[in-house]
Amino acid sequence: MIKAIVNVYLKTGVLDSQGKAVHHALDSLGFNSVEDVRIGKQIVLQLDETDREKAMSDVTEMCEELLANTVIEDYNIELV
Amino acid sequence: MKVSILQFPGTNCEYDTEYAFKKLGADTEIIWHKSETIPDNTDLLVVAGGFSYGDYLRSGAIAKFSPVMKAVTTYANNGGKVLGICNGFQVLTEAGLLPGALKRNEGLHFISKHHHLKVQNSDNIFLKELSDGDIVNIPIAHHDGNYYIDEAGLQELEENEQILLKYTDASGAVQNPNGSVASIAGVCNKNKNVFGLMPHPERAMEVVLGSDDGVNMLKGFFES
């Protein structure tokens, strides 16, 4: 069993309105050291697979086809 | 004129769309998403608004894998006319039939109100009853209507006259409710047979309900 953790974020340069709103909220709470906030989503997949290379290429395909919209989003994959 | 209207789990504008096209004299048929075909005599295929699959993951992201979407893609690639309204627009961008993507509204709120739109390019079948610069007043109702396309893509849209409508005020000055790039409310593909917009022309068919500006928009698909 391999667990894959996929993080999906809006691309750099694509305005993240939620991140901006949270940044403002943190600022008004007095956390002035925050320079930037990006909000994304995490998708955790349990794979019935033992070959890490195969798992990586499968999950990459999943990201390209469904899990991320690559017009506006970037993703990274971590296998654990 | 035969209009086929797609229905996914969560679609909620199919009956308004049916009402609108029937009022204009079309035969309509609602097509459940499990169908692997669309009627042969379809003159216009409408991907109606709503919340297909509860907007899970991203608006329109799951719907693009519904059985019917293969037939939709084939139909569009063969030159068939397709109109995506609101969630339908999101589905068509997710499916790669229209350029760009729809993000969460810049102000993060769901927006539901009438909004003025300026016709940007009327040299296409959809907006042929209108002229460039015309202003229409059409309801918008969306959470993810913030149109995004990168700069190269925007330039391409402009050069090919693919921008259909922009959000404006009543005088035609830009007024952007949701943060869309270049205040874009609707676009078409390069071949000008696939159209998508966030506003709801099918909800603007009766003066008594606020506006009938949708009539001249949807009429474009009929033979003149």
| Domains defined along chain B, listed by start | 2-221 (3.40.50.880)
Which tokens go with A71? 């017009």
A18, pLDDT greater than 70: yes
Which residue in the set A17, A66, A67 is minimally distant from B106, CB to CB?
A17
User: With a threshold of 0.90, does the pTM exceed it?
Assistant: yes
User: What pLDDT shows up at residue A70?
Assistant: 96
Q: What is the CATH number of the domain that holds A18?
A: 3.30.1280.10
Query: What domain range is A44 assigned to?
Result: 2-79
pLDDT of residue B223: 80
For chain B of 224 residues, list the mean pLDDT of each consecutive stretch of 10.
97 98 97 97 97 94 95 97 98 98 96 98 97 98 97 98 98 97 98 98 96 96 82
C-alpha distances (whole Å) from B27 to each of A36, A77, B88, B196, B217 are 53, 49, 20, 21, 18
Please say if the pLDDT value at position A44 is more than 80.
yes
CB pair distance less than 8 Å for A71 and B148: yes
* Cβ-defined contact of A69 to B146 (cutoff 8 Å): no
Q: How high does pLDDT run on average in chain A?
A: 96
Q: Cβ(B116)–Cβ(B158) under 8 Å? A: no
**B180 min Cα distance to partner chain A (Å):** 11
**Count of structural domains, chain A:** 1
DSSP state of A23: H
Cβ count within 10 A of residue B106: 17
**Residue B224: what pLDDT?**
60
Residue B146 touches chain A, beta carbons under 8 Å = yes
